[in-house]
Amino acid sequence: MEAMVEMKGIGKSFGSVEALRQVDFRLNPGEVVALLGDNGAGKSTLIKILSGFHSADRGSMMVKGREIDFKAYDVTVARSLGVETVYQERSLGERQPLWRNVFIGRHRLNRWGLIDVKREKMETMELLSSVLGLRGAGLSPDASVETLSGGERQGLAIGRAMHFGADIIVLDEPTTALALSEVGKVLSFIGSIREDGRSCIVISHDLGHVYKVADRFVLMDRGSTVGDYRKGDITPEELMARMIGLNGEVKP
Ligand SMILES: Nc1ncnc2c1ncn2[C@@H]1O[C@H](COP(=O)(O)OP(=O)(O)O)[C@@H](O)[C@H]1O
Ligand SMILES: [Mg+2]
């Protein structure tokens, strides 16, 4: 099976800080991988290399069988290959109507080159009902973003990425700022990525949040990938013990 993403020996430094030392990472089609590790382990740096935000100092990366030349790789190229990161901090404009948010920067144009408002609203409605499962009188494309809960906003951002054809969807700590009731919603949106046959990397430092939804767990510690377990091969208790073991190690 061809990997969606295959990274080998990735290294990345920021000045004297070696954020990534030795990273090997693979993402398969239709798979949700949880990237786990303590603060500073290098999780965000790793996915920023995948999404074209940073380039690696060394190592190799393949996306859908294509060898990536880091010198010619950026966020736009990554997107064109289907890689999309849903950033937690990339919050939507609160008072903007939902349809504006969905199409910001990526408009549907009519044959006169003008924004096709009718089509954008229609597609937004489809997205709201198919991805968020929101329907009925309560919701319209004209509703403002502030009417959505935190979890629903994440869902909208995920749905938006899927709507624009992303099939490698990256979520960096999507549940961190949320109430527990909202965490469940986000996890079910992540589940819908897989049900749709797409792949997802979800970063978390809380195994409890992502255990249910992930198929595989990749552990990072101080810039390296140090463990890779399929869900069927490890119990949650063992996985937790493995993570605590890493955190408990004396740092050199
Ligand atoms: N833009 C940056 N400039 C300097 N140092 C950075 C930058 N981004 C990350 N780092 C450092 O790289 C290391 C890994 O960070 P990061 O990838 O954010 O870890 P994680 O997401 O696992 O918490 C940390 O020591 C962090 O301070
Ligand atoms: Mg991070």
pLDDT in tens, 94-147: 788 888 888 888 889 999 999 999 999 999 988 888 777 765 556 788 988 888
CATH fold for the domain made of 5-91+164-248: Rossmann fold (3.40.50)
pLDDT in tens, 51-88: 999 999 999 999 999 999 999 999 999 999 999 998 75
Pocket lining for ligand 1, CB < 6 angstroms: 14, 17, 19, 37, 39-45
* CA 118 to centroid of ligand 2, rounded, Å: 38
How far is residue 114's CA from residue 107's CA, in Å, rounded to a whole number?
Answer: 9
* Ligand 1 atom with minimal separation from the 223 CA: 14
Residue 54's nearest CA partner among 11, 113, 21 is 11
* CA 227 to centroid of ligand 1, rounded, Å: 20
The structural domains of the chain, with segments of one domain joined by +, span 5-91+164-248
pLDDT in tens, 188-212: 999 989 988 899 999 988 888 899 9
* CA 56 to centroid of ligand 1, rounded, Å: 13
